[in-house]
Amino acid sequence: MELYADGTKGQAPVREEMQRDDNRANDGEYVYKAQIESARSVGDYTPRVIPRYEGISVPLENNLILWQR
């Protein structure tokens, strides 16, 4: 899981890995969290699920990325 925000003013996109909070896991559900320091609006950020395998690179267009709607 990661938080994603498009880059602004020619800067790179923001990609912040979210950490699973194991203390809150129950019934197969998990809570993920991340903390960022930014002057940007919370609405600029989108949580997304990205497949992770050792040695791969996942482009933004990959259809395996699940975006929150």
For the stretch 47-69, pLDDT in tens is 988 777 777 666 655 666 667 76
Mapped onto helix, strand or coil, the DSSP state of residue 12 is: coil
User: Looking at residue 26, what is its pLDDT?
Assistant: 74
For the stretch 5-41, pLDDT in tens is 999 989 999 999 999 887 766 787 888 999 988 888 9
Q: Is 8 exposed, middle or buried (0-12, 13-18, 19+ CB in 10 A)?
A: exposed
Scored b (16 or more CB within 10 A) or e, 11-45 reads eeebebebeeeeeeeeeeeeeeeeeeeeeeeeeeb
* Mean of the per-residue pLDDT values of the chain: 82
